Amino acid sequence: MVNRSDVHYFGAGPAPLPTTVLENAAQVLLNYQDKGIGLCEISHRSPEANAILAEAKGALVTLLDIPDDYDVLFLQSGGTGEFSATVYNLVAIWVEKKRAKIAEEVGDDEAEVLKRLRKVVDEELKLDYLVTGSWSLKASQEASRLVGAKHVNVAVDARTANNGKFGSIPAETEWTLTPRTSGGGPALVYFCDNETVDGVEFPSFPQSLEGDDAPLVCADMSSNFISRKVDVRKYAVIFGGAQKNIGSTGIAIAIIRKSLLPPASKPASPDLLRALNLSVGPIVLDYPTIAKNNSLYNTLPIFDVWVAGQVMSSLVNSYGAKRIGGQEDISNEKARLIYDTLDKYSSVYRVVPAKSARSRMNICFRVHGGDADKEKAFLAGAEKLGLLGLKGHRSVGGIRASNYNAVSVEGAQKLVTYLEDYAKTA
């Protein structure tokens, strides 16, 4: 029998969870707070469920120092669902602002307002996408599917400067963002902070998106959530699936600026959107509805929220005043150990992404130039030592060591030892 302590799992998602959280989960699944029923059996409308939500929210707010003018939502759509949700919600806000401005100019003539608004939407509606990997590419494709390709501006496609493959982030001087003006600009700018498949991570917030007139920035942080400090104030929406670095599969988390929610902001009505030939989003992706109902508009998987809350609360307890900075230090150290070893044996290993864009979370490399048989042997040798989940994504192949929070320093060191031993004997 293989014990959990004998294994170090580097899978990209679903990813490892802290053993203590899983041990506690086994108990609450059977009997939660001595109620005689398990956590998966309690009502999502119960006081216990609301307490679990509050604890998870509070832990995330503490870790990332989230300001009071932001809300935290728990959703069931996963990160992929948020590709759609950001489009539906922020386009509706953009349209309503344009409608209100036109109405100020022409008064109560609804026909004239609609006529001018159609022209504005046709000519000015743009959504900017920074395509630096597989997930941002999928997000841009979903936006094109929902609003039409003419409204989607791929401001950068990293493949054009890298022989048709992802692995770098072009200089911001090469980006073709939609111009910002006093009366306009894109409905949103999207980027994926960490590309799980391709091992690319933004080293910091893009300077091009800074400033008082900054557009609404939506960042997918599915695979580097709670791994480093984030200045939340720079974002309109941050979202991510929980299953990579926070919890179990089943929920996504969104951090949303409250100025985008009623009463501060009003989205265009469904009738108006339909009149403009724009899609109306499903209610389960509607941020105002989810926020108004404290993430409980529909049946939320409270067990998954509990797991995420336990993971985040454990970090709060571990790092105290350092908050997420404590975990950032450890994440950086583990990544340094692994990358230094890969670079040391460059005749055997080739790191896929450019050094300036290397992900701390998903370390992608090839063995002996990508020789299929040798990579297969490398993986087999790793499995014999209890180093699991190292196979690269099916779309790109190779090796991928996902360095999430639940991967211990001991696990990273054991991987480093194997990398050294393999390189010396290969």
Position 89, amino acid: N
pLDDT at 398: 97
What does pLDDT average to over the chain? 96
C-alpha closest to that of 198 among 332, 341, 363, 350:
363
Measured CA to CA, the distance from residue 308 to residue 55 in angstroms comes to 10
Asked if residue 167 has pLDDT above 80, the reply is yes
Which DSSP letter does residue 166 get? -
**Percent of residues, the chain, with pLDDT higher than 70:** 99
Architecture of domain 74-261+271-286: 3-Layer(aba) Sandwich (3.40)
CATH 3.40.640 domain span(s) along the chain: 74-261+271-286
Q: Read off the pLDDT of residues 256-300 as tens digits, 9 standing for 90 and up.
A: 999 999 999 999 999 999 999 999 999 999 999 999 999 999 999
Residues of each domain in the chain carrying CATH 3.90.1150.10 = 323-425
Q: Residue 292's pLDDT is what?
A: 97
Query: Is 90 exceeded by the pLDDT of residue 392?
Result: yes
- Please give the pLDDT value at position 295: 97
pTM over 0.85: yes
Which candidate, 173, 176, 142, places its Cα nearest to that of 157? Answer: 176
- Alpha-carbon dihedral sign for residues 193, 199, 204, 209: negative
Convert the pLDDT of each residue in 189-241 to its tens digit: 999 999 999 999 999 999 999 987 778 999 999 999 999 999 999 999 999 99
Percentage with pLDDT > 90 across the chain: 96
Summarize pLDDT for 96-139 with one digit per residue, the tens: 999 999 999 999 899 999 999 999 999 999 999 999 999 999 99
pLDDT score recorded for residue 265: 94
The arithmetic mean of pLDDT across residues 58-68, rounded, is: 98
pLDDT for 184: 80
Cβ atoms 288, 73 nearer than 8 A: no
| Number of Cβ atoms within 10 Å of the Cβ of 328 | 18
314-367 confidence digits (pLDDT tens)? 999 999 999 999 999 999 999 999 999 999 999 999 999 999 999 999 999 999
pLDDT of residue 161: 84
Sheet holding 217-220, edge to edge: 70-75, 252-257, 237-241, 217-220, 188-192, 127-131, 152-157
* pLDDT interval class at 396 (50, 70, 90): very high
Find the mean pLDDT for residues 241-252: 95
- CATH number for the domain whose boundaries are 323-425: 3.90.1150.10
